Amino acid sequence: MQTLKVAACAALFQSVIVVAFPAGAQQAPEGYPADYAGIVAAGIKEGSVNVYSPTDSEQADGLISGFEKSYPGIKVKWNDVASGAVYNRVVSEAAAGQVGSDVVWSNGLDLQLQLVEEGHAETYKSVEAANIPAWAQYKDAAYSTTVEPIVFMYNNKVFTDSVPKDHKELADLLAKKGTELQGKVTTFDPEKSASAYTVMENDVVHDSGFWTLIDAFGKANGKVYSSSGQLREKILSGEHPFGFNVNGAYAKGWAKSNPTLTVVYPGDYTIAASRTAFISKDAPNPNAAKLFLDYMLSKAGQTAVAEAGLPSVRSDVTADNWDTVNKEAGGKLVPIKLDIALLEGLQATKRGRFFKDWKKALNQ
């Protein structure tokens, strides 16, 4: 009789366990703290995660499908938001008390940090933080997820001049052959692209001759565009056969599919831009947001991002990563660090001075 009672109690205990962890719940991923299982269960109960990002949903497809496979029951809702509009949307929704984003992932690094400083990001030390470089983390809130080299790219069928190997050679070429190169060189418009402005602010830091280059670019009637797609088409068509400050993560793929395009990593320094993610303060699905951010930074998530053409910040990913890109750049890769210096470029006086000099150089 005693044996029967024990068996009955054991069966009852097992049934309680089944009720406590409903179908679809998972344990913590291997290597994660045991209590992470609570975040997993809560995230699955929430059922969805809303991501705001200028990254095309097709490019994020591997990341999305990998996450949904790892956490069945959580649907990723991707919201395409232009990089320049991410900041305004996050701020306006917070002011209205209607936060719609769980995770914000953008290449506007300075504006991402500004959102952190203004209290729009949740403090969360990712369980993957130890695997991410120190320069790619900010106040246990924002994390850089990619390594995107800033390169030169040219049409090798149309651009017949000696190809400049660094920023100084480009400035010298424009100064010496400005008449011949009228309207032949292009770059991003920092007034319309938040990421382009951030990159150029870092150019100023690393290149004492930056404004000499921009002056020569202006005298050669250089053209500016606001999107990578526009730059690609203009260089590919031969209308502007040479471009600088082009996103190398994209340019490498373009060159691979079209042999008339050639990528050059500047020999003096190659800036590495990135896309930074954080969890929104008062996110509607805070646990699912933690799962998604951690997955983005995990080896599996970083592999998915890298295989989509955005090199990983992790060196243990077999696809393109920091080490492989730095090797291609001749060891001259310089990351845009997530630190307070990024916010200086947003100060009205500094920003105003930059664009005053920019417009003067371009005769605007």
Alpha carbon of 310 to those of 20, 158, 327: distances in Å? 40, 28, 16
Distance CA 180, CA 169 (A): 16
Q: So what's the pLDDT on residue 129?
A: 97
Q: Which residues contact 191 (CB under 8 A, 6 or more apart)?
A: 197, 355, 358
How far from chain centre, in Å, is Cα 155? Answer: 26
Distance CA 168, CA 269 (A): 11
Q: So what's the pLDDT on residue 1?
A: 44
Alpha carbon of 204 to those of 222, 272, 318, 345, 357: distances in Å? 19, 14, 33, 11, 12
Question: Which of the four CATH numbers 3.20.19.10, 3.40.120.10, 3.90.1150.10, 3.40.190.10 does domain 148-273+346-361 have?
Answer: 3.40.190.10
Scanning 207-285, the segments in alpha helix (DSSP H) are 210-219, 228-237, 248-257
Question: In CATH terms, are 26-147+274-331 and 148-273+346-361 the same topology?
Answer: yes
pLDDT tens digits, 20-50: 333 344 688 888 999 999 999 999 999 999 9
Tell me the β-bridge partners of 286.
none
Tell me the β-bridge partners of 51.
78, 103
Q: Which residues contact 211 (CB under 8 A, 6 or more apart)?
A: 204, 357, 361
- CA 344-190-356 angle, to 5 degrees, is 70
Listed as ranges, residues in the chain with pLDDT below 70 are 1-26
In the three-class reduction of DSSP (H, G, I as helix; E, B as strand; rest coil), residue 282 is classed as coil
Q: Which residues contact 88 (CB under 8 A, 6 or more apart)?
A: none
CB 101 within 8 A of CB 257: no
Dmax of the chain from CA atoms? Answer: 102
Distance CA 100, CA 158 (A): 47
Query: By CB neighbour count within 10 A (0-12 exposed, 13-18 middle, 19+ buried), where does 227 fall?
Result: middle
Sorted by where each begins, the domain ranges of the chain are 26-147+274-331, 148-273+346-361
Q: May I ask the CATH class of domain 26-147+274-331?
A: alpha beta
Distance CA 39, CA 126 (A): 12
Q: So what's the pLDDT on residue 103?
A: 98
How, if at all, do strands 148-155 and 261-264 pair?
antiparallel
Q: Considering only CA atoms, which of 233, 200, 230 is closest in space to residue 217?
A: 200
Tell me the β-bridge partners of 155.
261
Q: So what's the pLDDT on residue 137?
A: 98
Q: So what's the pLDDT on residue 26?
A: 67
CB 246 within 8 A of CB 261: no
